[in-house]
């Protein structure tokens, strides 16, 4: 068992200069947890970022194999924390044990996936245009380029995935894979979990010979810590998963710098589900059961939680609503991540109950205990005019609450699809014929979302190469980039081009002999071959 100290992890040292301290609470009991954490001072932030900048010199020159081993060692060390990590995460988040164990598996699996991705190596997008010294009127130079790490990266731990999107989430892991040192802002709702994981990463860094400063972590519950990290001159990029309000404030801070940096924010979304007539006829009951399961997964605290369901008025849709109402009734209230989130959820549901045109059709049959920060599940119903009169329904309420909209005609579905803000996902339940019939609706949704799901639900994201977890604003701050899947390494690199550069001084990915056998674009052709003659 590691004894917690509540200090910043700065390079290989610890520091707790500030008298400003805080404790996390167990949301299931309201009790304060024992460890006292020190808010990071400006000087501590500066030391962490300065060490990260120093570490970048050596870290970016590590081989892909070195970085792969570092990532695997991190996964091993996180696993070696054993039951202490699981128990700590449970106490700080209200998550049940199987969820914590599963999420740890996702985090370590993700790290090992990135280890393989950098070992294979083609992700650097190596491109070579060979010279033509005799070309007229001007010789063609030798031009080669590849993706190169940007520099120190700041990662904001998310509250809703304390293991898989926090200290050792996809942000940290993909930054390491790229060759970027990381400074994590721990989440104040689960600081002990963060400390444990942070210390595991440091142990892995030491075992695999990584430079001091490759990883640091600061604690804090004030905006000053976040803004201080984002505006530090050595910070070259930042990644964030959280609320629109918090994300936008930090995004604005990043852009207000003398030299702005990219602030990659994933800020949640409403994740609409469209239930089309053919599917409702075939299996309305199964869809309503799946919907409630998705809505209540993780107490409705997934980024991809489905907040809005749209369908065409019909007996089948009425039966679907009845099924959803009954599903909600059977859903047991459960503890949310922390009292603040619980409070916002209760307020959001109360506001909905007072909106005209909106009817509560289903809620958990057993009452939620506010002392345990418990959320009940709520399903509302409205019609097209109800949605038109309540545009707030297009905004996410974080937690297990959702609204079904009964629309009189297909044109309403298109109208509402066009009104959606950018969203991480949209899901369509339909037959293949439905999809063809509603092609106009799909065309609209393609412009609005990052992921389109057919006959499935948005929660429970597969971590893989093709996954995209992003979307037009406000789903994310920059829709080119994802925060899950191997493409997320792209946030922490930029092209670096070498013109006329001698073989001996080129990165090995760009050398003629292609020693790692990666796939390259050579004079416009993709090949793993070496360049000869």
Site for a second copy in 369-388 (CB under 8 A): none
Per-residue binding letters, 53-82, with a second copy (x by CB under 8 A): ---xx---x---------------------
Considering 303, 377, 407, 488, which one is annotated as catalytic? 303
Q: At what angle do helices 170-178 and 64-80 cross, to 10 degrees?
A: 150
Q: Does 487 bind a second copy (CB under 8 A)?
A: yes
Nearest approach, Cβ of 264 to a second copy (angstroms)? 11
Site for a second copy in 89-128 (CB under 8 A): 116, 120, 122, 125, 127-128
- Between strands 493-499 and 449-454, the pairing is unpaired
Nearest approach, Cβ of 100 to a second copy (angstroms)? 15
Q: Does 319 bind a second copy (CB under 8 A)?
A: no
Q: Does 498 bind a second copy (CB under 8 A)?
A: yes
| Integer Cα distance of 516 and 497 in angstroms | 19
| Integer Cα distance of 194 and 185 in angstroms | 9
Nearest residue (CB) to a second copy, 73 versus 493 = 493
Nearest residue (CB) to a second copy, 42 versus 497 = 497
Q: Which residue in 12, 43, 447, 517 binds a second copy (CB under 8 A)?
A: 447
Reference 179, options 486, 516, 493; nearest CA is 493
Q: Which residue in 31, 65, 443, 529 binds a second copy (CB under 8 A)?
A: 443
Q: Which residue in 12, 31, 465, 529 binds a second copy (CB under 8 A)?
A: 465
Site for a second copy in 237-256 (CB under 8 A): 251-252, 255
| Integer Cα distance of 421 and 166 in angstroms | 26
* 266 carries an active-site annotation: yes
484 φ, ψ (degrees, to nearest 5): -140, 145
Neighbours of 68 (CB within 10 A): 24
SS3 374: strand
Reference 33, options 103, 104, 115, 88; nearest CA is 88
Residue 401 CA: distances (Å) to CA of 18, 378, 387: 40, 5, 15
Site for a second copy in 218-237 (CB under 8 A): 236
Nearest approach, Cβ of 507 to a second copy (angstroms)? 10
Nearest residue (CB) to a second copy, 289 versus 521 = 521
Q: Does 467 bind a second copy (CB under 8 A)?
A: yes
Reference 265, options 463, 489, 490, 479; nearest CA is 479
Site for a second copy in 262-301 (CB under 8 A): 262
Nearest approach, Cβ of 494 to a second copy (angstroms)? 4
Give the residues across from 449 on adjacent strands: 423
* 488 carries an active-site annotation: no
CB 294 within 8 A of CB 270: no
Nearest approach, Cβ of 481 to a second copy (angstroms)? 8
Torsion-angle region of residue 6: left (phi > 0), alpha (psi -120 to 50) or beta? Answer: left
Site for a second copy in 402-421 (CB under 8 A): 421
Whether the upstream peptide bond of residue 137 has omega within 30° of 0, thus cis, is yes
Q: Does 394 bind a second copy (CB under 8 A)?
A: no
What is the total residue count of the chain? 533
Torsion-angle region of residue 254: left (phi > 0), alpha (psi -120 to 50) or beta? Answer: alpha
Q: Which residue in 32, 371, 497, 530 binds a second copy (CB under 8 A)?
A: 497
Q: Which residue in 455, 459, 483, 514 binds a second copy (CB under 8 A)?
A: 455
Site for a second copy in 150-169 (CB under 8 A): 150-151
Catalytic residues: 266, 303
């Amino acid at each position: 068992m590691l004894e917690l100290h509540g200090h910043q992890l700065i390079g290989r040292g610890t520091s707790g200069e500030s008298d400003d301290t805080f404790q996390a609470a167990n949301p299931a009991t309201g009790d304060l947890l024992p460890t006292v954490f020190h808010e990071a001072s400006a000087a501590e932030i500066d030391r962490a970022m300065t060490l990260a900048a120093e570490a970048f010199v050596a870290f970016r020159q590590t081989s892909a194999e070195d970085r792969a081993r570092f990532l695997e060692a991190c996964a091993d060390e996180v696993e070696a924390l054993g039951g202490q990590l699981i128990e700590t995460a449970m106490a700080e988040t209200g998550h049940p044990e199987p969820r914590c164990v599963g999420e740890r598996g996702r985090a370590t699996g993700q790290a090992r996936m990135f280890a393989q991705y950098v070992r294979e190596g083609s992700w650097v997008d190596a491109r070579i245009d060979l010279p033509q010294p005799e070309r007229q009127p001007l010789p063609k130079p030798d031009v080669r380029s590849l993706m190169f790490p940007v520099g120190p990266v700041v990662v904001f731990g998310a509250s809703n995935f304390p293991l898989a999107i926090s200290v050792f989430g996809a942000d940290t892991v993909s930054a390491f894979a790229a060759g970027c040192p990381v400074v994590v802002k721990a989440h104040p709702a689960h600081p002990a979990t963060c400390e444990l994981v942070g210390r595991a990463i440091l142990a892995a860094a030491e075992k695999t010979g990584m430079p001091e400063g490759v990883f640091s972590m600061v604690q804090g519950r004030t905006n000053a810590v976040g803004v201080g990290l984002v505006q530090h001159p050595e910070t070259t990029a930042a990644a964030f998963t959280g609320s629109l309000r918090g994300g936008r404030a930090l995004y604005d801070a990043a852009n207000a710098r003398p030299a702005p940096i990219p602030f990659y924010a994933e800020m949640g979304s409403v994740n609409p589900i469209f239930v089309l007539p053919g599917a409702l006829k075939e299996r309305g009951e199964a869809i309503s059961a799946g919907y409630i399961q998705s809505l209540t997964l993780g107490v409705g605290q997934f980024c991809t939680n489905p907040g809005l369901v749209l369908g065409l008025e019909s007996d089948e849709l009425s039966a679907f609503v009845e099924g959803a109402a009954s599903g909600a009734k059977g859903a047991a209230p459960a503890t949310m991540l922390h009292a603040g989130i619980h409070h916002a959820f209760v307020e959001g549901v109360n506001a909905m109950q007072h909106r005209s045109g909106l009817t509560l059709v289903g809620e958990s049959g057993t009452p939620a205990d506010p002392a345990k920060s418990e959320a009940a599940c709520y399903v509302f119903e409205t019609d097209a005019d109800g949605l038109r009169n309540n545009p707030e329904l297009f905004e996410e309420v974080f937690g297990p609450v959702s609204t079904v909209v009964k629309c009189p005609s297909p044109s309403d579905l298109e109208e509402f699809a066009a009104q959606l803000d950018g969203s991480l996902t949209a899901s369509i339940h339909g037959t293949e014929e439905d999809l063809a019939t509603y092609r106009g609706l799909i065309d609209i949704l393609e412009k609005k979302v990052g992921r389109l799901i057919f006959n499935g639900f948005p929660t429970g994201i597969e971590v893989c190469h093709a996954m995209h977890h992003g979307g037009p604003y406000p789903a994310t701050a920059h829709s080119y980039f994802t925060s899950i899947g191997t493409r997320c390494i792209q946030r922490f690199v930029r092209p670096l081009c070498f013109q006329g550069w001698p073989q001996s001084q080129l990165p090995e990915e760009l050398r003629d002999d292609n020693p790692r056998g990666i796939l390259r674009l050579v004079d416009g052709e993709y090949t793993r071959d070496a360049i000869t003659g």
